[in-house]
């Protein structure tokens, strides 16, 4: 099956559309500007699963009364090096930017800053926040829990975990920062959504049914993940131990503990037993910034990281046409290309967005 054609929309029009919808829903100007910045930057980097397509989910949550669009993040407790923020049941982007800014401030002043967030919702790509620290010369780690249960544990037949992402970032001297942003499942659930919107089949092993069989039809897999049924996404490494699926499963557990349990956020299988219609999801996030200058001169550290980058880039190639890449390279390449050609928006997604915009009473900005 061939992928569906996509229109190329300039980034500023995508930004205007996101802001118009959020404004129509009642989100204030500073928060919607930050949210749109994160979503558009994510689309520019080629992470289509976490950009404007997320308006489909946010619309569902808004209509269900789960989102507090006027939420104001609050500091619940704080020390010189740590803080806990409450997201007020709003979208996770504004509170996450504030949390990482606070972690950066603490790391620059006291060598380490760790900020956790509770009572939040989806906040987009973790790598966006990790990159904020790397741009300031700091190492970063970001983790988050997930609202939707869509990952089967090793040897399991039912979903019990979320995609529970992790991100790491480091400055690299004369090179751009190295940024690793990954789900602890073999792929993010929203990537399945992107394949379904584009009419593309899934690679075998991404999604399995309750009998452990691969599901390759993207629409079938999407319904299984988001509408119910046994099976689900596999952990990094796949469903069994042969390729290390148990390691991905273990990473997912600790992403949950760091990203949510530490802050008092929810564990989705438990939350779902008592959650009432309109109750927020209480998603948690974790942000750490670490100053390498606490251990050695920062310029020497960055020079050594640059040497690692140089060594990896000059590694002999298995395929002469494919260079060895560093984490973050594909996203930088996509960003450079999309700034010129625009963000691809599949026509199926475009029509769904048109319905959301019409229902919100917002202006339509996505025409060519």
Task: Identify the bridge partners of residue 208 per DSSP, sorted by sequence position.
Answer: 214, 232
Q: Is residue 219 part of a domain?
A: no
Give burial (CB, 10 Å; 0-12/13-18/19+) of 157: middle
Q: Is residue 205 part of a domain?
A: no
**Mean local confidence (pLDDT), 259-288:** 90
Distance CA 300, CA 328 (A): 22
**Mean local confidence (pLDDT), 80-84:** 98
Look up the CATH number of the domain holding residue 347. 1.10.1530.10
Nearest to residue 52, comparing CAs of 62, 41, 61?
A: 41
According to DSSP, residue 28 is labeled -
Write the pLDDT tens digit of every residue in 31-67: 999 999 999 999 999 999 899 999 999 999 999 998 9
**β-strand 343-346 against 6-9: which pairing, if any?**
antiparallel
Residues 253 and 182 in one domain: yes
Residues 298 and 352 in one domain: no
- Helix residue ranges, H only, 115-261: 126-134, 189-198, 218-227, 245-259
Task: Identify the bridge partners of residue 172 per DSSP, sorted by sequence position.
Answer: 175
**Mean local confidence (pLDDT), 123-131:** 97
Write out the DSSP string of 125-179.
-HHHHHHHHHTTT-EEEEEE--SS--BPPTT-SS--B----EEEEEEETTEEEEE
Q: CA-CA-CA-CA torsion for 35, 37, 38, 40, nearest 10 degrees?
A: 110
Domain that includes residue 48, residue range? 1-63+331-368
Q: How many domains is the chain partitioned into structurally?
A: 2
Residues 58 and 78 in one domain: no
Residues 254 and 294 in one domain: yes
Residues 93 and 171 in one domain: yes
Q: Token pair of 158, please? A: 């039912």
Look up the CATH number of the domain holding residue 109. 3.30.1370.60
End-to-end CA distance of the chain, in Å? Answer: 27
pLDDT at 211: 87
Residues 58 and 76 in one domain: no
Residues 48 and 120 in one domain: no
The answer to whether residues 328 and 177 touch, using CB atoms and an 8 Å cutoff, is yes
Residues 14 and 110 in one domain: no
Q: Is residue 87 part of a domain?
A: yes
Q: Is residue 42 part of a domain?
A: yes
The answer to whether residues 142 and 286 touch, using CB atoms and an 8 Å cutoff, is yes
Give burial (CB, 10 Å; 0-12/13-18/19+) of 37: middle
Average pLDDT of the chain is 93
Distance CA 152, CA 19 (A): 36
Burial state string for 300-315 with b = 16 or more CB within 10 A and e = fewer than 16: ebbeebbeebeeeeee
**Mean local confidence (pLDDT), 235-251:** 90
Distance CA 38, CA 142 (A): 15
Per-residue confidence band for 2, with pLDDT thresholds at 50, 70 and 90: very low
Distance CA 172, CA 142 (A): 18
212 Rama sector, left if φ>0, alpha if ψ -120 to 50, beta otherwise: left
Q: Is residue 280 part of a domain?
A: yes
Distance CA 259, CA 266 (A): 10
Write the pLDDT tens digit of every residue in 314-333: 999 999 999 999 999 999 99
- For residue 4, pLDDT over 70 is answered with no
């Amino acid at each position: 099956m061939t992928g569906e054609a996509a229109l190329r929309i300039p980034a500023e029009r995508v930004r205007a559309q996101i802001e118009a919808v959020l404004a129509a829903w009642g989100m204030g100007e500073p928060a919607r500007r930050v949210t749109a910045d994160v979503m558009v930057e994510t689309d520019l980097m080629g992470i289509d699963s976490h950009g404007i397509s997320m308006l489909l989910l946010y619309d569902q949550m808004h209509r269900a009364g789960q989102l507090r669009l006027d939420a104001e993040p609050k500091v619940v407790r704080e020390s010189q090096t740590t803080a806990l923020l409450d997201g007020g049941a709003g979208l996770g982007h504004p509170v996450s930017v504030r949390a990482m800014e606070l972690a950066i401030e603490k790391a620059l002043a006291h060598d380490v800053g760790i900020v956790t967030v509770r009572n939040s919702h989806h906040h987009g790509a973790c790598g966006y926040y990790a990159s904020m620290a790397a741009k300031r010369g700091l190492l970063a780690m970001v983790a988050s829990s997930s609202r939707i249960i869509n990952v089967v544990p090793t040897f399991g037949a039912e979903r019990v975990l979320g995609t529970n992402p992790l991100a790491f970032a480091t400055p690299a001297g004369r090179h751009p920062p190295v940024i690793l942003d990954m789900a602890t499942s073999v792929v993010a659930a929203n990537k399945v959504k992107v394949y379904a919107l584009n009419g593309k089949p899934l690679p075998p092993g991404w999604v399995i049914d309750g009998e452990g069989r691969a599901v390759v039809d993207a629409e079938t897999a999407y319904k299984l993940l988001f509408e119910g049924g046994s099976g689900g996404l596999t952990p990094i490494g796949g469903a069994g131990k042969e390729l290390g699926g148990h390691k991905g499963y273990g990473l997912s557990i600790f992403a949950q503990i760091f990203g949510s349990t530490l802050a008092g956020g929810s564990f989705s299988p438990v939350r779902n037993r008592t959650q009432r219609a309109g109750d927020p999801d209480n998603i948690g996030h974790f942000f750490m910034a670490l100053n390498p200058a606490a251990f050695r001169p920062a310029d020497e550290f960055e020079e050594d990281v640059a040497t690692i980058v140089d060594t990896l880039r000059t590694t002999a190639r298995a395929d002469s046409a494919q260079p060895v890449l560093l984490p973050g390279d594909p996203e930088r390449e996509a960003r450079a290309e999309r700034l010129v050609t625009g963000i691809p928006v599949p026509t199926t997604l475009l029509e769904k967005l048109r319905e959301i915009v019409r229902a919100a009473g917002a202006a339509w900005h996505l025409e060519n």
